Structure 1
Amino acid sequence: MPKPIRHNNHVLETESNKFFSNQVPNEWIIDKPEHDYGIDYNVNIAIDNEVTGLSFSVQLKSKIQDKHPDFATITLKHSTLSLYNTMLAPVLLVAYIQEEKEAYWYWYNDLNIDLATQQKTFKIKIPKTNKLSQISWSTVVKYVQDIFSIKTLVDGIRFLEYNEISNSELLAWRYYYSGDYENAILYFKNLLRENPQNIAILEGLSQSQYQAFNYKEALFNINKAIELSGKHNLNLTKACILAEDGIQNGIKGKIIEARDIFKQFIDSGQSQAGYHYNYANTLSKLGHYEEAINHYQKCLKIDPNFATAWKNLGQVYWDIQEHEKELECYNKALVINPKLPQALFSKGVTLSRIYNQHEEALTLMLEALKYEEEMLHSYPYGYFGIAYAYEKLNKLRDSLIWINKGLDLYPEDIYYLNFKSNLLIEHWKENEWLKEEAIRFFKFRLELENDFKSLYALMIIRDLDDEQEILSLLKKHTTLLKETSLDTLKKCGIKLKEHIIFLLHCNKYQDFRKDYSIHRYLDHLISELFVISAEFWEILDLIFATSFSSAVFEYYKNKNSNIIAQKILEGLMLSPNAITELIPDADYRQEEAISLMSHIYLGFPTIIVREFGAQFGIITGALGLEKPSEADSLPQPWYDDLCEKILLTTNNKLKLLRED
């Protein structure tokens, strides 16, 4: 019976694996990944039989022969090289040639390959002078230390002598290299109790605290390391901490300080990609967009495979609203690293907010969270982006879930609060299940910040008809109608339910009133025959607030600037009703009544015309609209109707003229 024949490829693979394993120091640990994802081995460096935490990965290719006398060639996929680009540990590329009984090596990190291209495979030449059988493993250790030092910004790593440090220190670094920063912090702190002036430990502790978002402690320890060592390079870590703290917590002074440190490194002639990248990050956060673009481009000229730099450059283009360039940058980042969460998410936000491609956008954002759920800790408006896309797809329950997640973390954030307010007020009528949620939320927001729009929403959702209850709520939550009674409002023909729209833009109206006090009209009304009551001013204020808010509301609803003047004029036509409260109930002699009627008939229209001009000018100016001529905006028929109503209302109080 014939025996199974083993294919030559398997023989070659076994031979190359044995050759590599025989070259590696016996105490080093060689692990083979469970799945083949472009890495054949992970090699953990051990010294004196203690695992250091330092490691490197290996891609091993084998060939029967290679015709080139000076180099061996291997071919790698773009996706494989993209993976290498994201790894902390360096990757050793090894080509085994069976006929030569030798393998040749080269560090991927030393190659200059532009992964931003769409090229699917890359042919790599490995010089045959780099014989694996002659490699210096002590040099490998130093190389790995240098890479770890560069990528983590801990300068002390490259100088560590692992055969001279304690097991506790080895364990601390092992936790640090593996990204277990909480445990690393515990061990580094214990080590500092024994040796409080160990610079490398202070660096490691500071970087661990920085990675764990403990910025204050991180800054304290890096400052201590700088003070003890005097090493200028440690300022890079300090600048990174300052920048991240400033960006995350909105502390402009720290961003400025970080920017100045990064600039010092660049000005000193140390032109590394990371320096330009960090400097550009601070510039963009300070609003210096053109300068930021310049330094991102310098960074990418040095290292075109810097995926995060492409992503951040895209963010600057978002800020200056050049969205085509923005998407180009995200796409380049994703060619280099298809799983870069920040690029996936940012692209999704732009597709949703700018291009209305909500389905694709949502897919990208949710995919990003699969790779790095914690990303939202450093991207506070991520929940907003997802909620927005869900709402646009009319998936309101999902939208509400995500906006509530944002509010759980940022309960007083105005963007989240306003988003939820708008969602609820827009959809509660057609979704009964939203009604209770809306009432609960608007009560919360009213208590949180005395939000006028929430008060309006509560009244509308509850369909509040009781004028006394409406008046009580307005007295409690606004500065209007503090002195006014319901009887006075009825006497003046004011139905509060028809005026609560003023709450929608009450903040804008209050700002307007600060510059244009309602009491500036006093000279047009003051008379020896009566004292102007506080209730009159409050009723007039309510009418003016309603006309103002109605105009703004209708503009935002229709985006039609012509509606502004029309709505102001409609609202102001009710202002003569306040005359009923202006003229006190009294028995006037005929000459007094005539004097009063004349005084009010001449003065009151002037007040209303002035108020129209002020409201119209402020609203159009705030909205950036061109102001039409007053001749077109203030029609004579309207003015005639106003004067007639003023005359009739005044006469109704004074009984001078027959009503027919």
Structure 2
Amino acid sequence: MNKPNRHNNHILETESNKFFNFQVPNEWYIDKPEHDYGIDYVVNIVTNNQVTGLSFSVQLKSKIKETKDDFAVVSLKHSTLGLFNTKLEPVLLVAYIQEEKEAYWCWYNELEFDLTSSQKSYSINIPKANKLSQIDWGKISKYVQDIFSVKMLVDGIKSLEYEEISNSQILAWKYYFSQDFEKSSFYFKNLLVENPNDIAILEGLAQSQYNTFHYKEAINNINKAIELSGTSNQYLTKACILAEDGMQNGIKGKIIEAKNIFKEFINQDNTQFIYHYNYANTLSRLGYNEEAITHFELCLKLNPNFEQAWKNLGQVYFDIKEHEKELNCYDKALRINPHLPQALFSKGVTLSRIFNKSEEGLSLMLKAVGNVENILLEYQYTYFGIAYAYEKLGNIKEALNWINKGLEHYSEDIIYLNFKSNLLIENWKDNEWLIDEALRFFEFRLELENDYKSLYSILLIKQLKDEKQIFDLIQKHTSIFKETSFESIKDCEIDLSESIVFLLHYDRYLDFRNSHSIYRYSDHLISELFVVSIEFWEILDFIFAKSFSNAITQYFKSEDSAVITQTILNEFGIAAKVIKMIFPETDFPQEEAIEIMAHICAEFPKIIIREFGAQAGMITGSFGIDKPETETELSEEWFGKLHEQSLIEMNRKLKLLKED
């Protein structure tokens, strides 16, 4: 009866595993990852029966024989090397040769590859001089310690003597190395009570606080360390904390301070890729894009496998609108690390927003979020990017769902608030299920920041027809009508329900008014015979606000610059109605009444013409459109009609001429 035979490859694998395990110190312990994606073992370093938290990964390859005399040659996939590149701990490459009953080793960290290429696999020569049976595990432990020190920017890690430090210190560093920074902060703080001048602990605490976003405390502790020793790593840590704090919280001064420190490091040594990387990040955040590109390129020349630098360089190209170069950078980052969430997300945003490939872009963004859920909080506008893509795909429910998630974390962020406002404004009419949420949101935003578009939307959704109610709301939430009565509005024959469009761009109008005060026209109406009423200026201001906002609204609909001037002229048609509000008195002697009528009928049209020119110029200028020749827009017919209306309204006030 035939029995199953064990394949030679299985025998070889078992033999190589036994050989490796036999060489590792008994005190140390070995973990076998649940899934083998390029890492066979994680070796944990133990000293005096204390787990240090220091570890290194192992990739174990086995061969029956090796034809080379000086090297054991193994092949590794591009994706495997990309994985090694992302790990904090160093990776030990081990090749077991069955015929020689020996294994050979080298550190991946000391090899050089260009992982941005399309090459699928790489041959690696492991020196046969490095026999695993003769390895000095003490030197291995020291090497791992040094790597952790360099990557975690803590000089004190190099000099830790585990035989001499306390169990509490070992525990603190264990949590620190495993990147459980909340726990390491707790233990470091307790240790500082006993020894407040321990530099290594100050460094570890500062880094732990930096990684948990407690920037103020982190700066305080790294400054204490600097006062005690002032090493390069401490200054580098300080600059990193300042830069991250400044970028996360929009504090420009801290970014500038960090930039200046990073520049000093480059001046001292321009061969360190990380110096150029840090400097480039601050330059890009300060808007020095060309200089940032130069230093990202210098960084990548020194270390072409630094995926985060490729991603950040892509972001600079996004900022300067060179999107083909941007995508090329993301693709290189993803060749090195196909799961890099920041590159996946940024590429998705650009595909959706710039190249109108929303389905593909959304897929990448959701993949990024699925890989690292914390990315949603790490970058403020991840929710926005996903919501934007869903909106472009016509999925209003998912767009609203994601923007609401963003508002849960950033409840007063203007970008999130505006996105939801626009989403609701554009869709509530066609989606009855949106109406209640739209009303709640607009009422919330009106209370939050007195948002004018929200007031407009509330009036529109509620379809208010009661002019007095509309007047009261406008009076309450805008600077218009502070001294004006509802009766005066009715006297000027203004339909408020048809005029609420002024709220759509009232914020822009207020900016315009700040530089073009309504009272700059007062010189036209100054007279010894009367005082111009506040009501006149407020109602005229309202008419001007409506014309300004409606001109912008109509331009957005048509994208025809001619509609701007035409809309303003049409809206000014009612302006003459406000003449009756210039002054309340009517009992002027006839001679004075004639003088007043002549004065106002001559000057009021000049106010309208000046305002027309100012509004047309401001609006077209803000959209980069050629400023119209206002003189050619004002036809004799329009000008004559304005004069006629001014005369009629003034006569209704003063009753000098008999009306037909």
Q: Which residue of 2 aligns with 1:399?
A: 399
8 Å CA contact 1:456–1:504 kept in 2: the answer is yes
| Contact 1:185–1:209 (CA under 8 A) maintained in structure 2 | yes
- How do 1:284-303 residues align onto structure 2 when only pairs under 5 Å count? 284-303=284-303
Q: Which residue of 1 aligns with 2:125?
A: 125
How many angstroms does 1:135 deviate by?
1.4
* Residues 214/489 of structure 1: CA separation in 2 closer, same or farther (3 Å cut): same
1:610 and 1:36 map into 2 onto residues whose CA distance is 76
TM-score in terms of structure 2 length: 0.97
Quote the Cα distance in structure 1 between the aligned partners of 2:5 and 2:595: 123
Whether the 8 Å contact between 2:524 and 2:604 is mirrored in structure 1 is yes
1:293 and 1:47 map into 2 onto residues whose CA distance is 46
Q: Distance in 2 between matches of 1:519 and 1:34?
A: 76
Change (3 A) 1:168 1:541: same
Residue 432 of structure 2 aligns with which residue?
A: 432
Query: 1:594-628 CA distances to partner (integer Å, 9 max, x unpaired)?
Result: 43332222222112111111222222222222112
3-state DSSP of counterpart to 1:55: strand
Find out whether 1:157 has 2:157 as its counterpart: yes
**Partner in structure 2 of residue 368 of structure 1:** 368
Give SS of 1:465's match.
coil
Q: Aligned letter for 2:626?
A: E
Q: Measured at CA, do residues 397 and 588 of structure 1 come closer, stay the same or move farther in structure 2, by a change above 3 Å?
A: same
Partner of 2:319: 319
The answer to whether the Cα contact below 8 Å between 2:330 and 2:347 also exists between their aligned partners in 1 is yes
In structure 1, the residue matched to 2:135 is 135
CA contact (8 A) 2:192 2:202 kept: yes
Q: Any idea what the Cα deviations from partners look like across 1:294-341, whole Å, max 9, x if unmatched?
A: 111111111111000100011111111111111110111011001111
- Distance, in Å, in 2 between the alignment partners of 1:354 and 1:400 is 21
C-alpha contact 1:205 1:218 (8 A) present in aligned 2: yes
Partner of 1:267: 267
> Is the 2:586–2:653 Cα contact (8 Å) retained in structure 1?
no
Match of 1:348 in 2: 348
Partner Cα distance (2:281, 2:290) in 1: 12
Matched, 1:563 2:568: no
Q: Which runs of 5+ in 2 are unaligned?
A: none
What is the identity, as a one-letter code, of the residue corresponding to 2:219?
L
In structure 2, C-alpha distance between the alignment counterparts of 1:59 and 1:586, rounded to whole Å: 99
Aligned to 1:63: 63
Letter aligned with residue 84 of structure 1? F
Quick one: distance in 2 between partners of 1:405 and 1:562?
41
Instruction: Give the CA deviation at 1:3.
Output: 4.3
Quick one: distance in 2 between partners of 1:425 and 1:467? 22
Cα deviation, residue 481, structure 1: 1.4
- Quote the offset at 1:391 in angstroms: 1.2
Report the secondary structure of 1:163's partner residue: coil
The answer as to whether partners of 1:536 and 1:578 remain within 8 angstroms in 2 is: yes
Match of 2:505, SS state, is helix
The letter of the residue matching 1:637 is E
Shift of 1:508: 2.1
Once the two structures are TM-superposed, the CA of residue 632 in structure 1 deviates from its matched residue by: 2.4
**SS at 2:232 equivalent:** coil
Partner Cα distance (2:71, 2:321) in 1: 48
After TM superposition, the structure 1 stretch with the greater mean CA deviation from structure 2, 621-630 or 119-128, is 621-630
Q: Distance in 2 between matches of 1:443 and 1:499?
A: 20
Shift of residue 585 of structure 1? 5.8
- Report the CA distance between 1:592 and its aligned residue: 4.4
User: Is the Cα–Cα contact under 8 Å of residues 576 and 645 in structure 1 kept in the other structure?
Assistant: yes
Is the 1:499–1:542 contact (alpha carbons within 8 Å) kept by the matching residues of 2?
A: no
SS at match of 2:580: helix
SS in 1 for 2:95: strand
Q: Deviations over 1:70-123 (max 9, x none)?
A: 111101111111111111111111111111111111111111011111111111
Query: Mapping of 1:389-468 within 5 angstroms?
Result: 389-468=389-468
More off after superposition, 73-82 vs 498-507: 498-507
| Partner residue in 2 for 1:218 | 218
Cα distance in 2, alignment partners of residues 536 and 341 from structure 1:
59
Cα deviation, residue 388, structure 1: 0.8
Equivalent residue, structure 2, for 1:578:
578
Alignment-derived partner of residue 195 in structure 2 = 195
Distance 1:313 1:257 in 2: 21
Equivalent AA in structure 2 for residue 298 of structure 1: L
CA distance in 2, matches of 1:295, 1:288: 11
Query: Which residue does 1:184 correspond to in 2?
Result: 184
Matched, 1:383 2:383: yes
Q: Is the contact made by 1:258 and 1:282 (CA closer than 8 Å) also made in structure 2?
A: yes
Q: How does 1:564-643 map to 2 (within 5 A)?
A: 564-582=564-582, 584=584, 586-587=586-587, 590-643=590-643
1:83 aligns with: 83
Structure 2 distance, partners of 1:587, 1:208, is 81
Counterparts of 1:482-501 in structure 2, within 5 Å, are 482-501=482-501
Q: C-alpha separation between the residues in 2 aligned to 1:242 and 1:479?
A: 41
User: Does residue 276 in structure 1 map to residue 276 in structure 2?
Assistant: yes
What is the match of residue 48 of structure 1?
48
Give the Å deviation of 1:591.
Answer: 4.2
The answer to whether the Cα contact below 8 Å between 1:530 and 1:584 also exists between their aligned partners in 2 is no
Residue 275 of structure 1 aligns to a residue in which SS? helix
Q: Distance in 1 between matches of 2:31 and 2:517?
A: 78
Confirm or deny: 8 A CA contact 2:154 2:233 kept in the other structure: no
Alpha-carbon distance between aligned partners in 2 of 1:82 and 1:394, rounded to the nearest angstrom: 37
User: Whole-Å Cα distance in 1 between the matches of residues 315 and 85 of structure 2?
Assistant: 21
Match of 1:8 in 2: 8
Quote how far apart the aligned CAs of 1:576 are. 0.7
Separation in 2, partners of 1:70, 1:225: 47
Matched AA of 2:582: L
Partner of 2:237: 237
Classify the secondary structure of the residue corresponding to 1:61.
strand
Q: Does 1:146 align with 2:146?
A: yes
Deviates more, 1:130-139 or 1:531-540: 531-540
Give the Cα separation in 1 of the matches to 2:451 and 2:353. Answer: 27
**Does structure 1 conserve the Cα–Cα contact (< 8 Å) formed by 2:483 and 2:535?**
yes
Q: 1: distance between equivalents of 2:102 and 2:511? A: 81
* Distance in 2 separating the partners of 1:527 and 1:269: 75
Q: Is the 8 A contact 2:489 2:539 kept in 1?
A: yes
Shift of 1:422: 0.7
Question: Which residue number corresponds to residue 34 of structure 1?
Answer: 34
Q: Alignment partner of 1:25: what SS?
A: coil
Residues 1:549 and 2:534 are matched in the alignment: no
Deviations 1:407-453 (A, max 9, x none): 12222211111111111111111111111111111111111111111
Whole-Å separation in 2 of the counterparts to 1:242 and 1:305? 26
CA contact (8 A) 2:344 2:368 kept: yes
Change (3 A) 1:625 1:41: same
Q: Which residue identity lines up with residue 327 of structure 2 in the other structure?
A: L
Which deviates the most, 547-556 or 521-530? 521-530
CA distance in 2, matches of 1:84, 1:282: 28
One-letter identity of the residue aligned with 2:497: K
Aligned pair in 2 of structure 1 residues 654, 192: CA closer, same or farther (>3 Å)?
closer
State the one-letter code of the partner of 1:154: V
Q: What residue ranges of structure 1 are gaps of 5+ in the alignment?
A: none
Amino acid at match of 1:140: I
Contact 1:583 1:653 in 2 (8 A): no
| Distance verdict in 2 for CA 1:141–1:650, change over 3 Å | same
Letter in 1 for 2:417: L
- Aligned residue for 1:233, secondary structure, equals helix
Contact 1:92 / 1:106 at 8 angstroms: preserved in 2?
yes
Displacement after TM superposition at 1:593 (Å): 4.3
Equivalent residue of 1:46, what SS?
strand
Instruction: Tell me the equivalent position of 2:512.
Output: 512
Equivalent-residue separation in structure 2 for 1:433 and 1:655 (angstroms): 56
> What's 1:339 paired with?
339
Label 1:4 to 1:477 Cα distance change in 2 as closer, same or farther (>3 A).
closer
- Are the counterparts in 2 of residues 248 and 378 from structure 1 also a CA contact under 8 Å? no
Deviates more, 1:520-529 or 1:210-219: 520-529
CA contact (8 A) 1:239 1:257 kept: yes
Shift of 1:589: 5.3
